[in-house]
Structure 1
Amino acid sequence: MIKVIAIGDLHAEFPRLWRALRGAYLAGDDFLPTEPVQEGRFRVVLMGDLMHPKTLEHYRRLTGLDDFSPADPAHLRMAAKAQIREMYRVKRYQEAAPEHVTILLGNHDHAAATGDFVLGNAYLEHHEFHPEHGGVEMPEDLKAWLLSFPAEVNLYGVNFSHVGPVPWLQTYDAMFYNGREAKEWWQHNPDYVTRMGHRFGVYGHTVMKEGIQVFERLALIDAFDQDQYLELYLDDDHLEVQVAHVQPLTLQ
């Protein structure tokens, strides 16, 4: 039996990531995988969207700028450099145990690496990796690393993917962004999971404002900013799923 820790959309919450990994004995103080991860007894799955803080408040926290403006090129450069620095640390962690640490390709990862789309909403657009908008070019080795992430991974019949289990929810093109299915498929077509031959599925992308939601055949786990992630205990005959919590910081 293996223990799988699935962490929902990161969105540049790097301190929270390391707190979760250390608290679950998945990373040491050196930011490298622990022995159970190296041996494959523990598996780590990051559900994608490593970069692009979700809100202006998150950008302020990332950069230390109380007046962070997504229209200020100097602020964008600070946001980009902070994310690049931390992504290299995550890259080092993943490459130290590549068979047991999986990072899935999220649409924000794809957009930042390719420059194909500027993502955002009515309140905030993510320009820090778009030089044409005042941001900076992402280093080529980071681009290649991000674009090497798989669209999905399957462990003992459990499917992990950023959005959903079918190919059209794993392709980040104009059709993906122009429709609503990426956010709503689990409400209208949850049988995608079993139709694709999986016994259970774990997905991110859709923000779970009330925390992680676990249903009969799938879990939606984009709630890492609420200090929640998913633990699974798996083998051919066993499937146990439970919501876990990032331990709070303790003052010495």
Structure 2
Amino acid sequence: MIKVIAIGDLHAEFPKLWRALKNSYAVGEDWLPSDPLRRGVYRVVLMGDLVHPKLLADYRRLTGLEDYDPSNPHHLRTAAKAQIRELIRIKRFQEAAPEYITILLGNHDHAVLTGEMVLGNAQLEHREFHPELGGVELPQELKSWFQTFPRELNLYGVNFAHVGPVPWLQTYDELFYSSREPKEWWLRNADYVERMGYRFGVYGHTVMRNGILVKDKLALIDALDQDQYLELLLDEERLDWEIVHIPASGTSVL
């Protein structure tokens, strides 16, 4: 039996990631994998979207700039450098136990990796990794690392993917961004999980404003901003899950 610590879309919420890992005993005082994680008793799955804070307020907190302006090149470079520094720390953690720490490729990671699309909305565009818009390019070291991220992981019949269990929900092309299905498939087609042969599925991408949602045979866990992650106990026969609350920063020793 293994314990899986599944953490929803990161979006540069780096302190919360480390608090979740500390709370689950997956990381040691040295910021490296704990002994249970190194031995494979634990597994860590990050659901992707490591980059791009969700809100302008999150960019302000990340950069320390109260007047953060997503069109100001200096501010963009500050946001990029802050994320790069933390991504290098996560890379060091993941590469210390690569068999047991999986980071899934999210659509925001893919967009930064390829540079093909500027993501965002009318209120906020994520420009910090677009040199042509005043940002900086993701370093090649991190690009190469992003390229190793799988689009899904299967453990004991449980499917983990950033969006959903079918190929067209794991392909971040123009059709992906023009369709409502990536955000809504689980409302009408929750049976995708069973139809693909899985006994359960764990997914991110769709923001869960009321916290993690477990529905039928799937869990939607993009709820890091609600201070939650999911733990599962798995083997060939067992499948137990628990929604875990991340403790406040004052209770963490990291």
Residue aligning to 1:80 = 80
Q: Which residue of 1 aligns with 2:246?
A: 246
Q: How far apart, in 2, do the equivalents of 1:162 and 1:193 lie? A: 14
Quick one: which amino acid aligns to residue 238 of structure 1?
R
Deviations 1:140-167 (A, max 9, x none): 1101111210000000000000000000
Letter in 2 for 1:206: T
CA distance in 1, matches of 2:221, 2:158: 14
Q: Residue 161 in 1 paired to residue 161 in 2?
A: yes
- 1:91 corresponds to which residue? 91
What are the superposed Cα offsets for residues 12-39 of structure 1, whole Å, 9 maximum, x if unpaired? 0001111111111111121100000000
**Rounded Cα–Cα distance in structure 2 between residues aligned with 1:205 and 1:245:** 19
The offset of 1:249, in angstroms, is 2.1
Match of 1:221 in 2: 221
Partners of 2:94 and 2:242 in 1: CA distance: 24
Query: Which piece of structure 1 moves more, 21-30 or 63-72?
Result: 21-30
For residues 191 and 249 of structure 1, what CA distance do their matches in structure 2 show?
Answer: 38
Tell me which stretches of 4 or more aligned residues in structure 1 moved more than 4 Å.
none
**Corresponding position of 1:56:** 56
Q: How does 1:124-203 map to 2 (within 5 A)?
A: 124-203=124-203
Distance in 2 (CA, whole Å) between partners of 1:29 and 1:183 is 37
Q: Which residue of 1 aligns with 2:32?
A: 32
Counterpart-to-counterpart distance in 2, 1:221 and 1:85: 25
Aligned to 1:104: 104
Q: CA–CA distance in 2 between the matches of 1:28 and 1:245?
A: 19
For the residues of structure 2 that align with 1:28 and 1:248, how far apart are their CA atoms?
A: 18
Matched residue type, 1:219: A
Equivalent residue for 2:71? 71
Q: Distance in 1 between matches of 2:175 and 2:135?
A: 26
Normalising by structure 1, we get a TM-score of 0.99
TM-score, normalization: structure 2? 0.98
**Which amino acid letter does the alignment assign opposite residue 49 of structure 1?**
D
Mind listing any 5+ residue stretches in structure 1 that lack a counterpart? none
Matches of 2:127 and 2:26 in 1, distance apart?
A: 32
Q: Secondary structure at the match of 1:250?
A: helix
Aligned: 1:22 with 2:7: no
Question: Per-residue displacement from partner, 1:89-121 (whole Å, max 9, x unpaired)?
Answer: 000000000000000000000001110110001
Q: 1:203-249: per-residue Cα shift (whole Å, max 9, x none)? A: 00000011100012000000001100001000001000110011112
Count of paired positions:
252
